[in-house]
Structures are given as C-alpha cells and as structure tokens.
Structure 1
Amino acid sequence: MAAGGIVAENPVWMAVGRGYFAVQSLAGALWWFAVFTVDAVREATLGGADPRLVAMLDVPLFVVASLLAALGIRWAPRIAVPWTLLVAFALVIGATATGRAGWGAFAMVAASAGSLAAWLLMERGRIPAELALVGPLSIRVARSASPARQFLRTLAQLAVFWVFFLVVLPVLIAWFEARWNLRIDASEWRGPGFAVGLILLVAASALGIWAAIAMSTRGDGTPLPSATARRLVIAGPYRNVRNPMALAGIVQAVGVGLMLGSWLVVLYGVCGAAYWNWLVRPIEEADLETRFGESFRAYRDRVRCWLPGPGPRPVRAR
C-alpha cells in the first residue's frame, strides 16, 4: 500500500480520475450554454468579461481537453490543469478587485483542486498523501519531558493552530465570501446560528483541551504530528474516539462558520475533515501501527475514528 492508503498505479483510482474529467467536461459545456442564454449566470461567473473571447480559449482548453482526459489521452490533463489554474488565478484577482464574478472564481478554484487531484490519480494511480505532512506537520516523535512541560508545549501548539485555523483563516474566508458576493441571505437564521455555533465551539474546544491533557500526561508528547506521543494513549477522550483532536478541530471550524454566518467557512471545516480523513489519518495510523504494533491494531479495531462510542477493553502497550 502506498502512503494515504491508495495503491500506486491502481486502475480503479485512475478510472476515478478519468471520471472526474468527464464530469468536469460536461459541467463546463453546460456552464457555457448557460453563459450565453442566462444573463444572471454570465454576470455571476464572468462579470464584465467578453464571453465570446473567453469561450474561444476556454472551450478547447478546458471543456475539450477535459473530455480528452476522460477518454484516457495522457497529454490532455497537461493542458486542462494548467489552464484551469490560470483561469482560477485570473478570476480570483478580478473578483477581489471588482467584487464581480465571484461565483466564477469559486467554481474555478474548486475545479483547480479537483483537476489537480484527478491528474495525479491518472498519472500515479494515487494522491501523494505524504506531501500533506511536511515541515511543521511532519511526523516526529516528541522529546521526552515531564508531563507539565509536554502540556505547556501542547498549549503553545494549540494557541498557534487555533489562532491561525480558527480565527485568521475563517475571517479571511468570510471576507472573500462577502467581497465576491457569495453571501446567502439567511438573516432569520443568524441569531440561532450564532448560538448553535458558539455551543459547538465551546464544546469542541473543551474536547480538544481534554485530549491535550490526556496526550501530554499519558503519552509523553503532544497531539500534533511534529511532536507525537511516545506512548500509546488510551485514556480520557481517546477511550471513546480515536482522534478527538481532529474531531474537535472540525467541529470548531463549523462552529466558527455558524457564528460568522458564513457557509463558506462551514465548507472549509468539511473540507478539512475530508483532507484529514483521507490524506493525513492513514499516514498517522501507519506510523502508530509501526511503533505500537498489535496494541494499536487492537485499539483501532475497538474504537471508532469519528463517532464516539463505548470505551475499549484495556489494551496493554508493548
């Protein structure tokens, strides 16, 4: 198995990549039909750009190239993907500067991510998940220290990550949402949404702190990959769910999105869950299985990843 749980040169995943390009080609063709027939679609996605001029380039380089990629033409993604990235960049700059064509910018940013992932699946049969854990996120065993020192390290890590991922990024995303005119009018839900979001944020933060205490006092490490625990932890919230820190982070992001009244920040939280579950988690669990062997496998088999459940029977670390 390759990193991330996807077998290199797996024909199934290569077919998934081709399937994505087929859907993208069809969606692009339907979008261009709407651009020339529905004024609202043209304004929301292209703003003041001349649709005929854009279509002269986009139809062959995006729609047709995506179709050829779907048919298995190996060079076609090398045209479709860079063009998609270029158009996304241009629309992001334009939408940010003018406040127009925000939906076009959003759609092309999403298409860029999807096209790049599909290309990797076609070229390699997998997504190189190891790239998700580099630099400060690379997996390294923590230096041995007292529980108090490990807890202080954990608090410092939480402070940095929470400020960046739960304040800076959400505020920036919400700003782009407003600037690109992507806001959805839901004023009647704003008050209840803020209250629900605050409850989720407080509850998830408490879960995160509880997990941090368990990891630092029982595991001689921190919850982050860059200083991962030296001992297998099956205590505190880890008795009921394998990844309480990840669960807390996702719920926190959704809570912040509800508090800001931003569907895009909520989507950011959901995308974070997908990113962690399919790219980061398999690598982390492979590392745990390598270091703790049967103890971790027994724990993994008894405790669910996302949904809390009854705690496991005691498992003796080896």
Structure 2
Amino acid sequence: MREIGVADARRYFAAQAVAGVAWWAAVAASPAVRDATLGDLPPAWLAGPDLVLFAGGSALATWRRSTTWGWITLAWTTVVTVGLWGYALVTGEAGWGALAMAAALVFSTAAALTLARGRLPIHWITSGLLSFRSAPERSPASHLRHSLAQLIVFWTAFFVVVPLVLTAVERRLGLRWSALDHRVVAGAGVGLLVVFSGVGLWSCAAMSLRGEGTPLPSAMARRLVVVGPYRYVRNPMAVAGAAQTIGVGLIARSWLVVVIAVAGAVAWDVLIRPQEEQDMAERFGVDFERYRAATRCWLPTRPT
C-alpha cells in the first residue's frame, strides 16, 4: 500500500501556487472569470493578501518544506473559503470561486497534515467507530437485519438528503448545467438507481448470510465472501454505491452530485480500499490473496 507522503504534499502545494497566480491573472484579464469567481467583490481587496498567503504560502511550503507555511496557507484558505461561500449563498454570485476554494480547502488540509506528520494520517479515517473489526457472533438473520438498517440510514443520507442539499446549492449559485435537463438523462439515472440498488441489496444479503457480517467496517464479515455479486467484483457494494449516486445525480439533473460520486469512489479506492484489503489479507490469508488475484475490484470478472 503506497503511502501519501511529504513529496506528494510538496507537489500539491507547488501546483496550488501556480494555480493561484494563474487565477489572479485570469481575473485581471477576463471579466467573465472575475464575475464567475468573485461576483461583485472588488479584486483589489483580495489580490494582495491572496497572492502572498495562498500562492506565496503554497510556494514556500513547497520550497522550504515548511510546516509553518503549510498551516498559514491552510488558515488563509479556510478564511477565504468560509467568506466566499457566505457571500455566494447570500448573493447567488461567485459560485465557481466558492467551489474552487472548497476543493482547495480539502486538498490544502490533506497537504498540511502530510507535511506536519510525514505522511497523510489515513488511519484517522478508519479509527474508532470506523475501525476494521469483525462482526460479533450473531445469527445470519440478525446480521441481515443490522445490514438492512444500515442501508436505510446510508441510502437516506446519500441518496436523498445530500443530493437535495447539493441541488439546492447549484440552483442558488447559478451552476445548473442545462445539458442534463433532458428526459433521457433522467431515464438513464432511474435505470442506474434501480439496477444497482438491486446489486446493493444482493451484496448486503451475501455479506450477512454467508459472511456473517455487515457493510460497516466496525462489523465486517467473519467469513470471506466469494459468492453472489462477490464472484464478479471484490467490492460490489462500493460499485453499487457509486453507480446509485450517479443515478440519483442524473435524476436530480445535478452534475455536482455526479462529480462528488466519482470523487468519492476515487477517494475510497485510494485511501480506504488498501487498508481494508490489508486487513482482509491478515484475517483470511492465502484464500483472500487468491481471490484478489482472480477478481477485479471495479470491473466484473468472469468467474472461474
């Protein structure tokens, strides 16, 4: 499992320094860029501090491997992000700037933590309630009830609440994409949601009844599951969750939901999956290694 280390953080801060300078150059050169990213905010108010603390701070964090400048850059990024989002939500302007700064905040946080600790502390994500643990001994029916209850909570949160919030934000910030306002797009979304909801339920049943566990990391399967949809992909629940979210985004005509679904799948694949599979290799040994070698994670494999 490749760790995300200081070299990766420095590369990110270097790219952010260049992007910050390029952004201000575009603001100065293009009224359209200025309106999309700053609205009616006077550029002169932000340009100086931002070039010093965002672009310059990122450059110093890269050049000097400076944890201090990493934190300074993160602090400034946080202030600008909060302020720009408040302005955007109140006025309906500067939506693209708010989105760009939100992304910068996420990556700056990861980069600053990496500089400070020597590597990205991914283990923070999988600690406490989300730490990898085998499920307690229960009857298969009990595991199934727990799994279905978890699905209800997750599906309500990620397929109803979050898309509603993101769609409302898109409308407020004027970021709707008219290409999605077509009946065929919504129909494709319905198809994805129905098909992959079935895959999710099938995976849940296999995990509970054959694996004696649940989808939660803190109550993982006690037995290696290689039946049902697990014959075709190693983590059908991740595949189903990503496809379901994309389907909901298409139904809601929200490109932001679709983008976040793809980003979430990539983040899971890079950050969580290696830890999960390392845990499974330790618990199931050579059986899991053979299964991993024979079955892909995302694309279906013909069972042997």
TM-score, with length taken from structure 1: 0.91
Deviations 1:117-142, CA, capped at 9 Å, x for gaps:
22233333422111222444332221
Segment of structure 1 superposing worse, 260-269 or 282-291: 282-291
Deviations 1:159-205, CA, capped at 9 Å, x for gaps:
00010011111111111111111112226x52111011111111110
Tell me the SS of whatever aligns to 2:222. Answer: coil
Tell me the SS of whatever aligns to 2:133. Answer: coil
| 1:229-268 aligned within 5 A | 229-268=221-260
Q: Which residue of 2 aligns with 1:270?
A: 262
Q: Which residue of 2 aligns with 1:159?
A: 152
Between the aligned partners of 1:290 and 1:56, the Cα distance in structure 2 is 53
Verify: 1:176 aligned to 2:169, yes or no.
Answer: yes
Once the two structures are TM-superposed, the CA of residue 71 in structure 1 deviates from its matched residue by: 1.4
Segment of structure 1 superposing worse, 241-250 or 226-235: 226-235
Between the aligned partners of 1:170 and 1:135, the Cα distance in structure 2 is 27
Between the aligned partners of 2:129 and 2:299, the Cα distance in structure 1 is 28
Between the aligned partners of 1:84 and 1:44, the Cα distance in structure 2 is 19
Once the two structures are TM-superposed, the CA of residue 207 in structure 1 deviates from its matched residue by: 0.5
Any stretches of 5+ residues in structure 1 without a counterpart?
Answer: 313-318
Change beyond 3 A, Cα 1:207–1:236:
same
Deviations 1:61-90, CA, capped at 9 Å, x for gaps:
011111122213413212111111111111
Segment of structure 1 superposing worse, 250-259 or 31-40: 31-40
Tell me the SS of whatever aligns to 1:163. Answer: helix
Q: Which residue of 1 aligns with 2:179?
A: 186
| 1:110-125 aligned within 5 A | 110-125=103-118
Q: Which residue of 1 aligns with 2:94?
A: 101
Contact 2:114 / 2:121 at 8 angstroms: preserved in 1?
A: no
Verify: 1:6 aligned to 2:18, yes or no.
Answer: no
Tell me the SS of whatever aligns to 1:182. Answer: coil
Q: How many residues align?
A: 303
Q: Which residue of 1 aligns with 2:284?
A: 292
Contact 1:6 / 1:127 at 8 angstroms: preserved in 2?
A: no
For 1:222, which of 211, 214, 219 is the aligned residue?
A: 214
Between the aligned partners of 1:121 and 1:34, the Cα distance in structure 2 is 30
Between the aligned partners of 2:9 and 2:34, the Cα distance in structure 1 is 29
Contact 2:190 / 2:248 at 8 angstroms: preserved in 1?
A: yes
Between the aligned partners of 2:44 and 2:195, the Cα distance in structure 1 is 52
Segment of structure 1 superposing worse, 263-272 or 125-134: 125-134
Contact 2:249 / 2:257 at 8 angstroms: preserved in 1?
A: yes
Q: Which residue of 2 aligns with 1:127?
A: 120
Between the aligned partners of 1:134 and 1:174, the Cα distance in structure 2 is 31
The residue identity in structure 2 corresponding to 1:66 is: S
Contact 1:84 / 1:111 at 8 angstroms: preserved in 2?
A: yes
Between the aligned partners of 1:66 and 1:106, the Cα distance in structure 2 is 19
Contact 2:197 / 2:244 at 8 angstroms: preserved in 1?
A: yes
Between the aligned partners of 2:50 and 2:145, the Cα distance in structure 1 is 53
Between the aligned partners of 2:29 and 2:63, the Cα distance in structure 1 is 29
TM-score, with length taken from structure 2: 0.95
The residue identity in structure 2 corresponding to 1:285 is: E
For 2:78, which of 80, 85, 99 is the aligned residue?
A: 85
Contact 1:197 / 1:254 at 8 angstroms: preserved in 2?
A: yes
Between the aligned partners of 2:284 and 2:65, the Cα distance in structure 1 is 44
Q: Give me the identity figure in percent.
A: 47
Between the aligned partners of 2:281 and 2:36, the Cα distance in structure 1 is 49
RMSD: 1.6
Between the aligned partners of 2:126 and 2:151, the Cα distance in structure 1 is 17
Contact 1:88 / 1:108 at 8 angstroms: preserved in 2?
A: yes
Contact 1:240 / 1:308 at 8 angstroms: preserved in 2?
A: yes
Any stretches of 5+ residues in structure 2 without a counterpart?
Answer: none
Between the aligned partners of 1:131 and 1:195, the Cα distance in structure 2 is 39
Deviations 1:252-295, CA, capped at 9 Å, x for gaps:
11111111111100011011101211111112112111111111
Once the two structures are TM-superposed, the CA of residue 145 in structure 1 deviates from its matched residue by: 1.6
Contact 1:17 / 1:118 at 8 angstroms: preserved in 2?
A: yes
Tell me the SS of whatever aligns to 1:186. Answer: helix
